Structure 1
């Protein structure tokens, strides 16, 4: 703020509008200095600041020192395997135990797809299926380079980046690799085919992935 500008007299046509009286240069200077002292930090040099063309009536807060506390780190994959976090006990490997999970998944996917009416757009439904969480879904292997996997059906109890773990009606826990397999998921007459080789992401990663529609996909 220029000192000459601070001391400049108010134009006569604004005196009546503002309801103020004209002050002498010394009075204006005294008022300005008093105002700045009340508005700025105590240690600020008002006279030095008045020599600048611009003046900011404010100050930034002191930066807080960063805490030296370290963020807690989660378990890595090796530690999780050692602790058997994802291990399903044999007595829990029963198809009937996971039927309530499947019922919840059906309601979830129906809500996600807006009701799954006969008039629903099949392409839109397919894209919703691809991004959905499949824990609780009943999937069937319809094609695979390994013939022994073809025809296997079960409820998805765990999904990893490269495999599905399913519980079959025979109460068997099966690990199905996604690679080189095609899976079918059916809900209310809508059948969605999942090409496992193009589906090798975790559920959390897949929700943000953009899938491209292709006419043919090789196993």
Structure 2
């Protein structure tokens, strides 16, 4: 028997079909380009979706961002500085807000607040029971009056180092450390200094009776929040 001769192997390279292989063949020899393509591209796994636990870096980043978001959500906002308050106009009254009638209702609320501070209670409609009216003295109510809030009080200047401010009367819309800012019946905003000034205000009792008090501004040169827990001390009043 005669066997047919086997075909001789030829070194004809396989046709290039991959774009990366074509680019490599331009810069390297056929054998080198085929080796680089096989090692770096053809046999390299392509992870379309990483499995759980395989990408630890992304997991750590996700945990870090979650903690940061939780911290920012639970953190108390930083209070505004004095410069930021001035820029935003926090304490600036708009022209349409400077109405005495608006703050007159605030004064009515303040009067009810002062009745509670002094221990008075007014009878409700349809309720015949009333509380005994207490006696207001400096010893029993002095500390309460000294620590009271004056936002909404209708005050009048009776004595002042600046004679031009005597007689000014209005509802307090802002109580600062050194001044009272009031809105007058003429829909005007006035800033009254506390130093060397005596203010008068009234508390209307049930039955249309009134209690008249005088406040010495030198004794009230504190912010309302600081004055609430401060012990009252007498100061020299030589300006009188």
Does structure 2 retain, via aligned residues, the 8 Å contact 1:129–1:192? Answer: no
* CA radius of gyration, larger in: 2
Q: Quick check: 1:131 aligned with 2:136?
A: no
Match of 2:84 among 71, 79, 86: 79
Q: Which residue of 2 aligns with 1:112?
A: 117
Does structure 1 retain, via aligned residues, the 8 Å contact 2:120–2:134? Answer: no
Residue 187 of structure 1 aligns to a residue whose secondary structure is strand
Instruction: Between 188-197 and 142-151, report the one with greater CA deviation.
Output: 188-197
Write the deviation string for residues 134-184 of structure 1: whole angstroms up to 9, x where unpaired.
Answer: 100000111101001111110001111111110111111101111111111
CA apart distance, 1:73:
1.7
Residue 91 of structure 1 aligns to a residue whose secondary structure is helix
* Unmatched tracts of structure 2, length 5 or more: 1-69, 122-131, 205-209
TM-score, reference length from structure 1: 0.64
Match of 1:199 among 212, 220, 230: 220
The whole-number CA distance in structure 2 between the counterparts of 1:118 and 1:171 is 36
The whole-number CA distance in structure 2 between the counterparts of 1:200 and 1:89 is 27
Residue 193 of structure 1 aligns to a residue whose secondary structure is strand
Q: Which residue of 2 aligns with 1:41?
A: none
Write the deviation string for residues 2-39 of structure 1: whole angstroms up to 9, x where unpaired.
Answer: xxxxxxxxxxxxxxxxxxxxxxxxxxxxxxxxxxxxxx
Equivalent positions of 1:21-60 (< 5 A) are none
Does structure 2 retain, via aligned residues, the 8 Å contact 1:126–1:192? Answer: no
Aligned residues: 152
Q: Which residue of 2 aligns with 1:153?
A: 169
Write the deviation string for residues 66-98 of structure 1: whole angstroms up to 9, x where unpaired.
Answer: x98776421111110111001111111110011
TM-score, reference length from structure 2: 0.58
CA apart distance, 1:118:
6.0
Does structure 2 retain, via aligned residues, the 8 Å contact 1:80–1:86? Answer: yes
> Runs of 4 or more off by more than 3 Å in structure 1?
67-72, 116-119
Residue 103 of structure 2 aligns to a residue whose secondary structure is helix
